[in-house]
Structure 1
Amino acid sequence: MTDKLDDVWASRDFPVLVAAARILDRGDGPVSAAPLVQATSLSEQEVFSAFDALTPSYLTGEVYESLGGRGDVFFAGITERGRRAVGLWPSGEGVDALVDALRKAEDTTDDPEEKTLLRRAAGAVGSVSRDIMVDVVAAVVSRQSGLG
């Protein structure tokens, strides 16, 4: 059987992630299912399913059981991955693009000295921790856009 399940990221999980992140980032958390149902127009069951899909990778939280079954869910925090997905933190894509651009520039130049410098630059950028490079790229973009 090769049938795939429907993609629920755009229709269910991401809207719940964005709504929860907005509330948590304001400091109004933890967030139960009810405000997320209201913010997303999804059903309570869809929010519970999104909770299962988003924790612990994107959000942290707890399930509170009631005697009659599932009680409620509470989103308590946003992980690094969650912050990057909703745009609260810069993604690492800029770092990867910089390394790729340096490698492409190395491939297109005929000057041996320039090739060596570009190779070293790509190696240096690639060897620095992702978090540090994201901070550096964000600072450069901020400064060049007049925000820093």
Structure 2
Amino acid sequence: MVNPTWEERDLPVLKAIVELYEESGGRKDRAGDIQKRTGFDEETVQKALRALKPANPPYVTSMKEMSGGFIVFVGAPTPEARRAVGLWPTADGLADNLIMAMSQAADQEPDEEKRGRLKTAASWFGNAGRNVLVDVTAAVINRQISGGA
């Protein structure tokens, strides 16, 4: 039986990659630095790096391998990596926050008519309209990331 590795191995390694990249100001990270950051042994870090390498979407821009497949350097984390470790927003997360904010606004609205409209909107977006809201927030995120106007 294959053990799931995302939460216990791959995500902590990816988080270390993002943190080290941010702290270094953008240099390539050494596998040894990732090992120190995670506290994992060399074999565990190498397995995680190999698992992250062919990912689609990709989590890093590049990896430098030595002969025998030993990964020594890891390039910049991608937007997908930043979202995976919780540093950048996801469409689902933003949609959930907006629905929660609508519900809270409805609870605090003194005007009964406005409160009813807010509750109706929050209910619709929380159910049937959630996919629409996720699509809209995804479009906004993608536009901001790509630098669109």
Q: How does 1:123-142 map to 2 (within 5 A)?
A: 125=133, 128=136, 130-132=138-140
**Residue identity opposite 1:89 in structure 2:** W
Give the alignment's Cα RMSD to 1 decimal.
3.6
Q: How does 1:105-120 map to 2 (within 5 A)?
A: 118=121
Consecutive unaligned residues in structure 2, runs of 5 or more? 103-116, 145-149
Maintained 8 Å contact 1:61/1:73? no
> The residue matched to 1:63 in structure 2 has which SS?
strand
Residue 65, structure 1, aligned to residue 66, structure 2: yes
**Residue identity opposite 1:24 in structure 2:** Y
Residue 53, structure 1, aligned to residue 61, structure 2: no
> The residue matched to 1:51 in structure 2 has which SS?
helix
**Residue by residue, what CA displacement relative to the aligned partner does 1:88-146 show, whole Å, maximum 9, x if unpaired?**
211222344357x99xxxxxxxxxxx6xx9579x496455361406889xxxxxxxxxx
Structure with the higher strand share, 1 or 2? 1
Consecutive unaligned residues in structure 1, runs of 5 or more? 103-113, 137-148
Cα 1:6/1:73, change in 2 over 3 Å: same
Task: Give the TM-score, by structure 2 length.
Answer: 0.61
Q: Percent identity?
A: 29
Paired residues in the alignment total 120
Match of 2:88 in 1: 89
**Residue identity opposite 2:50 in structure 1:** D
* Equivalent residue in structure 1 for 2:14, among 17, 22, 25: 17
Cα 1:126/1:92, change in 2 over 3 Å: closer
User: Which contiguous aligned blocks of 4+ residues in structure 1 show a shift greater than 4 angstroms?
Assistant: 117-120, 133-136
Whole-Å separation in 2 of the counterparts to 1:127 and 1:82: 20
> The residue matched to 1:74 in structure 2 has which SS?
strand
**Residue identity opposite 1:50 in structure 2:** A
Whole-Å separation in 2 of the counterparts to 1:43 and 1:33: 11
Maintained 8 Å contact 2:94/2:137? no
Task: Give the TM-score, by structure 1 length.
Answer: 0.61
Maintained 8 Å contact 2:95/2:133? no
Residue 80, structure 1, aligned to residue 88, structure 2: no
Structure with the higher helix share, 1 or 2? 2
